[in-house]
Chain A
Amino acid sequence: MDSDNAGGGAPSILNGRKPNILYLWLGDKIFTTVVVMLGASIIMLALGMAWVLFDEGSLSLREYGFINFIKGKTWDPAVQLVFGAWPFIFGTVITSTMALLIAFFPALAVAIFSAEYAPPWLSGIIDNLVQLIAAIPSVVIGIWGIFVLAPWLRDTVYMPIYLWTELNQPGLLPILGNPIGYGMATATIVLALMIVPYTTALAKDAIKSVPKDQREASWALGSTRWEVIRMAVLPYARGGITAGAILSLGRAIGETMAVAMLIGNKNTLPFSIFGAGATMPSVIVNEFREAVESLHLSSLMAIGFVLFIIALIVNLTAAYINRKLSIGGGQIL
């Protein structure tokens, strides 16, 4: 009997169609090699970028030492040629965390409304609008901020607060700063606006991933809609929501153009609430053209390196929290 038809019955068309030995052997090898190389190249790229930043910044880091570079409060590229990153680290941390604080609850509310309350057609519209905000180029938001938002904030929000404070609490004026419209407060507000889409989308994903049976268990106890959200949905989704918020913080930390256009760009501490300030990305984008001194350029690179490390830590934290706080299927049954 023909060995290709050992099972008996009608001969199958597949019988006798043995793949070419070269194909079997070589095909797998080629595929594996390509996939491994592509995968490794991404890792190499990230490591390479970190290395280049560190290497280019090493002149500055050697000059001041890593810790002292971070702690250095003076950034003076013009006269003293002293470079310390603290003003920018401070500016970045304050603007991005405040932006997250401002953005978080409205974003969560939009996510809850879109996921739980809105009928499908409305939910679709909301999602698209939110994504539309995310799609606006940063520089466009920046120019809108310069010509529309900042003057408006100055006239309708900052000035009244400033004048009131001047009359009642003149001691607080240095903390408040000059209400010129371009400064920390405006940058923070614009940053908040820019991260709302991320926080919303990630929170909505987390809310949507809460299993139906959790909701139903809560409904069956006689919960109202809000009670279901509070009892079953939000606790279950907290890991994803928190991780999403931290990822949004990462976006805010790295946001460059709009912040650089609106923050006023002042390199010296102390920063005030309305007054000008700077962040790590904003100082890099503002000064790289003029960095003729190698120590200056190296210091900018070192700031880039610090920014890279901070962004990495933030993203790893988000991943960790997502894993730690989320409720895995395996845990439940």
Chain B
Amino acid sequence: MEINIMKSKDLPEETLKTVHSNMENHDIVMKPRMETKNLTVKYGQAYGVKNISLPFKDKTVTALIGPSGCGKTTFLRALNRMHDLTREAKIEGEVLLDNKNIYDEDINPVNIRRKIGMVFQKPTPFPTMSIYDNVVAGLKLVGIRNRSLLDEVCEKALKQAALFEEVKDRLKTPAVSLSGGQQQRLSIARALAVEPEVLLMDEPTSSLDPQATLRIEELIHVLKKDITIIIITHNMQQAARVSDKTAFFYVGDLIEAGDTNTIFTNPKEKQTEDYITGRFG
């Protein structure tokens, strides 16, 4: 089969081989659920990310790590076409979801974003809506009005996001009455309610306290039984705790990717090692 290796032109050949060997055991077993091929995002003349090829296996958690400004977020936002909203951003290469390029002409980005959910760095509840209305907001978009179905999905999503017990008696109260950690879990519940196949998380715990962070990490462990998760984190321990695969970005390039264990214990690249051990970034 085709070898889906992240590739930066500047990397020496033996690195590619080792990266390859890190990945191949899994890749041969199954085709990736989602993958990028030579994905480049440009803002005008400036590169956001360059030539990234990276597979994401079904029902795994992939952590994207790297110093600030290295292109992680740019990369992540290319995966559900959020860059469509930025006039300056130009996308080259492919992002395949089940082998279909989501940037193809015949693809409606609205449908893509329904399949590929996103959770942002800051909690983003809709402030004028109740907790309940926030969770079912995405369902109402697709025209679901059936009350009992909405109730059911709302409860399920809130349970998945480990928020149900805390809010079950006040579903009709404004979402902004929740604490920051609860709001973030609400944002996750809202993203899960539309049953995405892939969930993108952009530093979901960076504005949360350790307790709330822990709950969200537990949540990720549960969620990966059903869906593919791609998470950006600045917290090395978090990446080690929650992810199966890790990809290290640096200045718009993908430096190294592979099993999280391997990346953290035996990175092939000096830059990766330096970053993980805290020597820079």
Contacts and interface: CB of A to CB of B under 8 A. Distances in A.
Interface of A: 213-224, 227, 231-232, 235-236, 238, 327, 331-333
Given A227-B141, A238-B128, A222 B120 contact: no
Interface stretch (B25-33, B110-118, B259-267): B110-118
Ordered nearest first, which 7 A-B pairs have the shortest CB separation?
A222-B114, A217-B124, A220-B118, A235-B128, A221-B138, A222-B113, A327-B127
Nearest to A235: B128
Contacts of B113: 219-223
B191 A221 contact: yes
B141 A221 contact: yes
A221 B142 CA distance: 10
Contacts of A220: 80, 82, 113, 117-118, 120, 191
B114 A221 contact: yes
A221 B128 contact: no
Contact of A214 (B82, B111, B124, B183): B124
B16 interface: no
Interface of B: 80, 82, 85, 110-114, 117-118, 120, 122-129, 137-138, 141-142, 176, 180, 183, 187, 190-191, 194, 207
A333 B128 CA distance: 14
B205 to A, nearest CB: 14
A45 B176 CA distance: 42
Contacts of A232: 126
Contacts of B110: 222-224
A232 B80 CA distance: 19
Contacts, number: 77
Contacts of A227: 141
Chain B CB within 10 Å — which of A221, A224, A231 has the most?
A221
B141 A332 contact: no
Given A219-B85, A220-B120, A222-B110, 16 more contacts: A216-B124, A218-B137, A220-B118, A221-B114, A221-B137, A221-B138, A221-B190, A222-B114, A222-B142, A223-B141, A235-B129, A236-B126, A327-B128, A332-B123, A333-B122, A333-B123
A227 B111 CA distance: 13
A39 B125 CA distance: 41
A38 B44 CA distance: 49
A217 B120 contact: yes
A213 B180 CA distance: 15
Nearest to B81: A219
A216 B82 contact: yes
A332 B117 contact: no
B30 to A, nearest CB: 27
A287 to B, nearest CB: 48
Contacts of B194: 221-222
Nearest to A239: B128
Contact of B141 (A213, A216, A231, A235): A231
Contact of A213 (B117, B120, B142): B120
Chain A CB within 10 Å — which of B82, B176, B190 has the most?
B176
Contacts of A224: 110
25 contacts: A213-B122, A215-B85, A216-B85, A216-B120, A217-B124, A217-B187, A218-B137, A221-B113, A221-B117, A221-B138, A221-B191, A221-B194, A222-B111, A222-B113, A222-B142, A223-B113, A231-B137, A232-B126, A236-B126, A236-B127, A327-B176, A332-B176, A333-B122, A333-B180, A333-B183
B122 A331 contact: no
A333 B82 contact: no
A90 B207 CA distance: 55
A42 to B, nearest CB: 35
Contacts of A217: 120, 124, 126, 187, 190
Nearest to A119: B87
Contacts of A236: 126-128
A231 B190 CA distance: 13
Given A222-B113, A231-B141, A213 B85 contact: no
Contacts of A332: 123, 125, 127, 176
Nearest to B111: A222
Nearest to A224: B110
Contacts of B114: 221-222
A52 to B, nearest CB: 44
Chain B CB within 10 Å — which of A236, A331, A333 has the most?
A333
Chain B CB within 10 Å — which of A215, A219, A235, A238 has the most?
A219
Contacts of A327: 127-128, 176
Contacts of B180: 333
A235 B122 contact: no
Contacts of B82: 216, 219-220
A227 B126 CA distance: 13
Contacts of B122: 213, 333
A223 B190 CA distance: 13
Given A216-B82, A220-B191, A331 B127 contact: yes
